[in-house]
């Protein structure tokens, strides 16, 4: 699904003495099947932005087009169910939202709410539990008897059960150990590719942004501050630092090396392997 955001403005508590402008003049097109990383300092507006993508917040000015649905300031009240079915949000610490007696019921809750039959919802639960790498036996357990990592997978399964076309992920790996973090990110990346999703990932990890994203959007003080391919964004270290961010570790290392050696190496991607290759070649050249 293509997402098109035009001159979006959002004011919290509009018309009260507490009014605060959280977003201003945001223009962003996210083409179908794009994996977009949304980065920015706390309070930069990224959470406000993604809450517009399934109609949890309404624009104070401007508009958002999500496929067929248009959300605009002052627009008529519309049925947001179709949009919410297509745009699934995995919130921060999604395991805090589990509530049913069994994992199966918890996963079935969304689909049942959207009119799926009991039988079909059960089938869906059994399908998605496998997608998130948990055994079928988990379905009959209480979600609260699972480990933190398992609970998070169940919560994610609940979102996948809606078969979303757009996946909005708000720091989905916060609080997980390093191995769990890699597993969950690989799971989303795999889904993104296989199901041809449009994915928006909110993250503080420049490593994840550089590894998975086709495009990066940087928010700063409620505005879209930078937008481009990872290699374009990570060329802007000064600008990133002004926004309270930094480049990935591989780039930090390369800059340290360039400073020491007087060389001007650059990277075509930001993996450790690429960095090692580029340093290895540079050393050989000097040696010969």
Which residues of this chain interact with other proteins, rule CB under 8 A?
41-43, 147-149, 174-180, 182, 204, 244-246, 249-250, 252-253, 256-257, 260-261, 272-273, 275-277, 279-280, 283, 286-287
Nearer to other proteins, 95 or 165 (CB): 95
Cβ distance to other proteins smaller for residue 111 or 248 = 248
Angle in degrees, 0-180, between the axes of helices 103-113 and 148-160, rounded to the nearest 10: 20
Least CB distance to other proteins at residue 207 (A): 9
Instruction: Tell me if 239 sits within 8 A of 260, measured CB to CB.
Output: no
Nearer residue to other proteins within complex by CB, 41 or 163: 41
Q: Closest distance between other proteins and the C-beta of residue 82, in Å?
A: 33
Q: How far is the CB of 206 from other proteins (least distance, A)?
A: 9
Query: Cβ distance 124 to 161 under 8 Å?
Result: yes
Give min distance, CB of 275 to other proteins, in A.
Answer: 6
At 89, give phi and psi (nearest 5°). Answer: -110, 130
Measured from the CB atom, the residue of 89 and 146 that comes closer to other proteins is 146
- DSSP characters over 109-161: HHHHHTT--HHHHHHHHHHHHHHTT--GGGGGS-GGGS-HHHHHHHHHHHHHT
Q: Which of residues 238 and 286 has its CB atom nearest to other proteins in the complex?
A: 286
**CA pair distance 46, 10, nearest whole angstrom:** 12
Q: Which residues contact 23 (CB under 8 A, 6 or more apart)?
A: 8, 9, 10, 45, 48, 49, 222, 223
In angstroms, give the least distance from the CB of 37 to other proteins. 14
């Amino acid at each position: 699904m293509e997402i098109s955001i035009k001159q979006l403005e959002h004011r919290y508590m509009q018309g009260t003495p507490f009014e605060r402008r959280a977003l201003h003049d945001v223009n962003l097109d996210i083409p179908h099947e794009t994996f977009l990383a949304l980065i920015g300092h706390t309070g930069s507006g990224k959470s406000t932005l993604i809450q517009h993508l399934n109609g949890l917040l309404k624009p104070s000015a401007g508009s958002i087009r999500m496929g067929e649905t248009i959300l605009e300031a002052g627009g008529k009240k519309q049925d947001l169910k179709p949009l919410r079915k297509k745009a699934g949000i995995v919130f921060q610490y999604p395991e805090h939202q589990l509530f049913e007696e069994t994992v199966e019921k918890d996963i079935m809750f969304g689909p049942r709410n959207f009119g799926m039959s009991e039988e079909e919802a059960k089938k869906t639960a059994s399908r998605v539990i496998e997608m998130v790498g948990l055994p079928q036996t988990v379905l009959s357990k209480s979600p609260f008897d699972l480990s933190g990592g398992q609970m998070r997978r169940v919560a994610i399964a609940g979102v996948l059960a809606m078969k979303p076309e757009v996946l909005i992920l708000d720091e989905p790996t916060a609080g997980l150990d390093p191995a769990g973090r890699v597993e969950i990110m690989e799971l989303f990346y795999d889904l993104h590719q296989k199901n041809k999703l449009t994915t928006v990932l909110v993250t503080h990890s420049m490593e994840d942004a550089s590894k998975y994203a086709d495009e990066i959007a940087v928010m700063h003080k409620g505005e879209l501050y930078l937008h481009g391919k990872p290699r374009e964004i990570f060329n802007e270290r000064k600008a990133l630092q002004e926004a309270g961010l930094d480049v990935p570790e591989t780039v930090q290392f390369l800059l340290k090396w360039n400073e020491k050696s007087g060389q001007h190496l650059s990277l075509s991607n930001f993996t450790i392997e690429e960095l090692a290759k580029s340093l290895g070649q540079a050393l050989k050249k000097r040696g010969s």
